[in-house]
Chain A
């Protein structure tokens, strides 16, 4: 780990020397909501930053653990004034601040992750379809589970998390129509102790596969201790469960960050709103491990179909949890409903907090 970091830094330094001379004036800046050491959300964004440094040789800067209140506007303004050409604001809560500061600094490009407001031409928004990976996980879970119930450790009832839950259960039901999903809301993104407790509670109630939408590796460790299987989150957590992790959804922001910084360097940057998935490499899956070959083959086949855009998880017929019809046979969900998703589909064993 440490060694790779050193190598990375060294190669970044060499790249800076090599390319830096030609395009030394471009600077890419990043603000993170958590510490870069969370090994989850912010960590993965920082991996993207390192990739930008390495591949393009530009100068970068970052601020970690920036609260999403009054502080974020100051942090952004400081970036804008310190010569950043493009600023990535990597949490939903930075939405208003991003747009406000963008209005003041027309020459700086802003890229806001997971938001929907683009009030100025220099603001783009981007997000990733992590739910595509959840569908694959659901299929794996249904194949491997002997109890027919999986456990889901959820953070907060925002659309991103709800989409993940729905996609997971749809994937599972495509294999086993009676598959059930238990959900526990822990009301935190990051509290290893609480996540571990939630994992234990779920296992004690008979689930034999754990998946999580929180950032710590604690659920993986609990699953390993109890000898069941689990899915990782945000980054590859295989070191925390060598015989436990089935796969993990990896947030790979590097391709997007490199593409956008390069666009600024070439002068081709334009406002956009993207929601990339497996097709752009934004959603990657950690190697499929600890499963029989046929399950692995199934997972790989589904992943290939989603990547080739031959298949979309939210394709009808889909019934909502309350029994009403959501999507007809063959109908695909519209993007607005997906972005604001606030209902469960059939089969989720939980009441969605409203």
Chain B
């Protein structure tokens, strides 16, 4: 038996709408089987994963905190990936944004006024964008593969940050432990609704970025340019678009948003810069971008779903003793199923009973 694909003349509207739900259902089934194999009640496990974290207000705030950097970074990556540029190093740009954005409260602690926070955010965006511009420059100027350079630069950024917070930027009153001074009050990103939980403005930035990116991609010439160059560089060149400029655009946008996510995380819940800020948001955001099918609005939903698996993973760990590895397996499966069901949008799938002479596996 083999599977044959036929390209649909137009992508299927039905499956565009259905495929995320099919994927979710398949993940639930596979996840249920996984939990059953681990000797846990699958319904309990799925309840703790997907329902329990949504029952209380504080937990919804936590969801927003966890989702904010994922959405911010993923929105930028969606633009970048749509233009057929592969920025895998958002994690490094996240760190760069956090470091550069932290300059005002760390180096000028006496400069305390309402301007500090906006300045930090701008510096954060600039830092991330500048760091993202390195692989872009190398790609345009030297034809270097951006997947690998952006990835290598992640480690460099992490180690640089590590050196900073253990060396020149270390809090002198911190008993030689790594980490800068605690930011002063003007350098802290306010909470949206402090009475009910600690979600901060980073989540608002994420929503604004998503809507802005959606508008750009679907309503403006720039968005058209991104997509044309992404699908067919040759056609794009005929249309008079520059693919070199597009490389920079893609990396500046994705780097800048990753930088904003970095400084929002540091000025938001963490309140100082330390060596542990980099916990893989930049990589997880790649999954979010694809879960949201590179659509900025889809990414908002995808970011929330993925954040939910983290929170749910903890709930399941406490209540059922499910290992934290299960959460990662779960995320991997979800992405696999989303990718697989997306095939339905563009292709008709037919099962042929008799193998062709040159069969697949």
Are A and B direct contacts in the complex by CB distance below 8 Å? yes
Query: A residues within 8 Å of B by Cβ?
Result: 29, 35, 61-65, 67-71, 73-75, 77-79, 81-82, 92-93, 96, 116, 156-159, 162, 187, 339-342, 353-354
Q: Given that A70-B269, A71-B279, A156-B166 are known contacts, is A63 also in contact with B176, CB under 8 Å in the complex? A: no
Partner of B318, one of A61, A68, A96, A156: A61
Given contacts A62-B317, A81-B56, 11 further A-B contacts (CB under 8 A): A64-B317, A68-B276, A69-B270, A70-B269, A71-B310, A74-B62, A74-B66, A74-B314, A82-B319, A162-B176, A354-B167
Cβ of B58 under 8 Å from chain A: yes
Tell me whether B176 and A340 are in contact (CB under 8 A). Answer: yes
Asked if A158 and B268 sit within 8 Å, CB to CB, the answer is: no
User: Which of B56, B167, B198, B319 counts the most chain A CB atoms within 10 A?
Assistant: B198
When chains A and B are docked, how far (Å) is the Cα of A75 from the Cα of B323? 15
B311 interface residue per 8 A CB criterion: yes
Choice from A78, A162, A342 contacting B314 with Cβ under 8 Å: A78
B274 interface residue per 8 A CB criterion: yes
- Interfacial chain A residues near B65, Cβ < 8 Å: 70, 74
Pair A353/B269 contact, Cβ less than 8 Å: no
Whole-angstrom CA separation of A100 from B235 in the bound complex: 56
| Per-position binary interface string of chain B over residues 174-188, scored 1 when its CB falls under 8 Å from any chain A CB and 0 otherwise | 011110001000000
Q: Which residue of A lies closest to B265 (CB)?
A: A70
Can you give 12 A-B contacts (C-beta < 8 A)?
A: A64-B324, A69-B277, A71-B279, A73-B269, A81-B58, A82-B318, A93-B276, A96-B182, A158-B176, A159-B176, A162-B176, A340-B175
B323 nearest in chain A by CB position: A64
Asked if B175 contacts A116 (CB within 8 A), the reply is yes
Could you tell me which residues of chain B, from 39 to 73, have a CB within 8 Å of some CB in chain A?
56, 58-59, 62, 65-66
Are A353 and B167 neighbours in the complex by a CB distance under 8 Å? yes
Per the bound structure, the CA–CA distance linking A159 and B271 in Å amounts to 23
A342 contacts B176, C-beta separation under 8 Å: yes
Given the known interface contacts A92-B177, A339-B175, the answer about A73 and B324 at a Cβ–Cβ threshold of 8 Å is: no
> Which of B59, B62, B317 is A63 in contact with, Cβ under 8 Å?
B317
Q: For B268, what are the chain A residues with a Cβ–Cβ distance below 8 Å?
A: 70
- Chain A nearest Cβ from B332, distance in angstroms: 16
| A133 CB to nearest chain B CB (Å) | 21
Would you call B276 and A69 a contact (CB within 8 A)?
Answer: yes
Task: Tell whether, in the assembled complex, residue A353 and residue B318 are in contact, meaning their CB atoms are under 8 Å apart.
Answer: no
Inter-subunit contact A187/B159 (CB<8 Å) = yes
| Chain A residues, CB < 8 A from B271 | 96
**Once the chains are docked, how many angstroms separate the CA of A317 from the CA of B56?**
60
Give which listed residue, A63, A71, A162, A342, contacts B66 with CB less than 8 A.
Answer: A71
The listed residue with most A CB atoms (<10 A of its CB), out of B265, B319, B324, is B324
Contact of B166 (CB < 8 Å), options: A29, A69, A77, A157: A157
B154-194 vs A, Cβ < 8 Å mask (1 yes, 0 no):
00000100100011000000011110001000000000000
Closest A residue by C-beta to B62: A74
Residue among B59, B276, B315 with max Cβ neighbours from chain A (10 Å): B276
Residues of B within 8 A of A81 (CB): 56, 58
Do B265 and A69 touch (CB < 8 A)? yes
Contacts of A67 in B (CB 8 A): 276, 279
Q: A63-B317, A63-B318 are in contact. Are A159 and B177 (CB under 8 A)?
A: yes
What residue of chain A has the Cβ atom nearest to residue B318's Cβ?
A61
Q: From residue B39, how far is it (CB to closest CB) to chain A in Å?
A: 13
- Report the separation of the CA atoms of residues A35 and B317 in the bound assembly, to the nearest whole angstrom: 13
A-B complex: 7 closest residue pairs judged by Cβ atoms: A70-B269, A340-B175, A342-B176, A67-B279, A68-B276, A74-B62, A340-B176
Q: In the complex the two chains form, what is the Cα distance from A81 to B53 in whole Å? A: 12
Residue on A with the closest CB to B58? A77
Give the distance to chain A from B280, nearest Cβ to Cβ, in Å.
9
Contact partners of B166 in chain A: CB under 8 A: 156-157, 353-354
Distance between Cα atoms of A71 and B281 in the complex (Å): 12
Asked whether, in the complex, the Cβ of A93 is within 8 Å of the Cβ of B167, the reply is no
Report the minimum CB–CB distance from A62 to chain B (whole Å).
8
B274: which A residues are within 8 A, CB to CB?
68, 93
Instruction: Report the separation of the CA atoms of residues A353 and B168 in the bound assembly, to the nearest whole angstrom.
Output: 11
Shortest distance between the CB of A2 and any CB in chain B (Å): 16
Cα distance, A187 to B165, chains bound together (Å): 13
Nearest CB in chain B to that of A35: its residue: B324
Interface mask (B277-311 → A, CB under 8 Å = 1, otherwise 0): 10100000000000000000000000000000011
Bound-state CA distance A353–B275 (Å) is 15
B177 near A74 with CB under 8 A, answer no
Contacts of A61 in B (CB 8 A): 318
Smallest CB separation, B73 vs chain A (Å)? 15
Q: Is the CB of A70 within 8 A of B177?
A: no
A14 to B318, CA, bound (A): 21
Q: How far is the CA of A354 from the CA of B65 in the complex (A)?
A: 33
- A78 near B276 with CB under 8 A, answer no
Q: How far is the CA of A187 from the CA of B177 in the complex (A)?
A: 14
- What is the chain A residue whose CB lies nearest that of B268? A70
- Contact (Cβ within 8 A) A79 B311: no
Residue from B58, B159, B178, B270 in contact with A158 in the complex, judged by beta carbons closer than 8 Å: B178
